[in-house]
């Protein structure tokens, strides 16, 4: 890979413009998100040469700040332009038939990233930059239990969505398990007030599912 600016965990691609046979040896283009119109930055693209017996990577790179890329092939033949990481949620490949070695093309590709995110938030492994809280998650032992002098250890497992604005919508908070309802309620209240740096794909903010490790509460009599 010619450029590597960060560890990539996921790429999304869905071609909605341009198709058919082209005669090209140098493949260039620009990737944009369809709804926001933003260029997809640091987004991986690859050019594969297809032969009867092998599939070889000819060239690869990450798009630049304007979403631009340019890849070079290896002689006339059958190729695939791969937008995104193969085997991930919505990776896409575009067949290209390059019959000449001295021509080049440039095409614009529109990717419906936000439309797809509305249908289903992305998993942590889908995104390039995962959602992270802007401050530490601090849990307070429930006052309802302290007032009744109910002390001890509490545990909660929770799954929720951080939306593209960095908020955690209450309807999208799921308590996986909780040792008491009061602990579950305390976690929901804390998350609903917390702000996150949203997940991103190609520099575009997207909603993401988050599942936290075991959250615990502890209160000791007399403290």
- What pLDDT shows up at residue 20? 45
- For tokens 């010619």, the residue is 2
Q: Does 120-219 carry CATH code 3.30.2420.10?
A: yes
Q: Give first-to-last CA distance, the chain, whole Å.
A: 57
Contact call for residues 180 and 145 (beta carbons, < 8 A): yes
DSSP letter, residue 170: G
Please give the chain's pLDDT, 223 residues, in tens: 444 333 232 333 333 344 444 456 788 999 999 998 999 999 999 999 998 898 999 999 999 999 999 999 888 888 999 998 776 676 888 898 887 777 677 889 998 999 989 999 999 988 999 999 999 888 999 999 999 999 989 999 999 999 999 999 999 999 999 999 999 999 999 999 999 999 999 999 999 999 998 999 987 765 5
pLDDT of residue 9: 29
CATH 3.30.2420.10 in the chain: give the residue spans: 120-219
pLDDT score, position 2: 45
Give the integer Cα–Cα distance in Å for 43 and 201. 8
pLDDT of res. 222: 55
User: Where exactly does CATH 2.60.40.180 map onto the chain?
Assistant: 26-118
- Model pTM above 0.85: no
Q: Which CATH architecture best describes the domain 26-118? A: Sandwich (2.60)
Nearest-Å Rg of the Cα atoms of the chain is 23
Q: Please report the pLDDT score of residue 182 as a whole number.
A: 96
Alpha-carbon gap, residue 46 to 77, rounded angstroms: 16
Closest CA to 202 of 6, 29, 41: 41
């Amino acid at each position: 890979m010619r450029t590597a600016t960060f560890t990539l965990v996921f790429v999304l691609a869905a071609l909605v413009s341009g198709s058919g046979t082209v005669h090209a040896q140098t493949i260039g283009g620009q990737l944009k998100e369809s709804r926001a119109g933003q260029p997809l930055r640091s987004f991986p693209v690859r050019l594969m040469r297809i032969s009867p017996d092998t599939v070889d990577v000819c060239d690869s790179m990450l798009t630049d700040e304007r979403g631009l890329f340019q890849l070079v092939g290896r002689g006339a033949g059958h190729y695939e332009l791969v937008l995104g990481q193969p085997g991930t949620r919505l990776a896409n490949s575009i067949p290209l038939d390059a019959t000449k070695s001295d021509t080049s093309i440039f095409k614009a590709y529109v990717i419906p990233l936000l439309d797809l995110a509305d249908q289903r938030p992305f998993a942590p492994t889908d995104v390039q930059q995962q959602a992270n809280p802007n401050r530490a998650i601090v849990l307070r032992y429930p006052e309802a239990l302290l007032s009744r002098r109910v002390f001890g250890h509490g545990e909660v497992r929770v799954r929720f969505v951080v939306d593209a604005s960095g908020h955690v919508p209450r309807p999208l908070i799921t308590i996986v398990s909780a040792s008491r309802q009061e602990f579950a309620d305390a976690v929901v209240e804390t998350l609903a007030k917390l702000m996150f740096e949203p997940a991103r794909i190609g520099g575009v903010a997207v909603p993401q599912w988050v599942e936290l490790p075991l959250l615990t509460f502890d209160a000791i009599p007399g403290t």
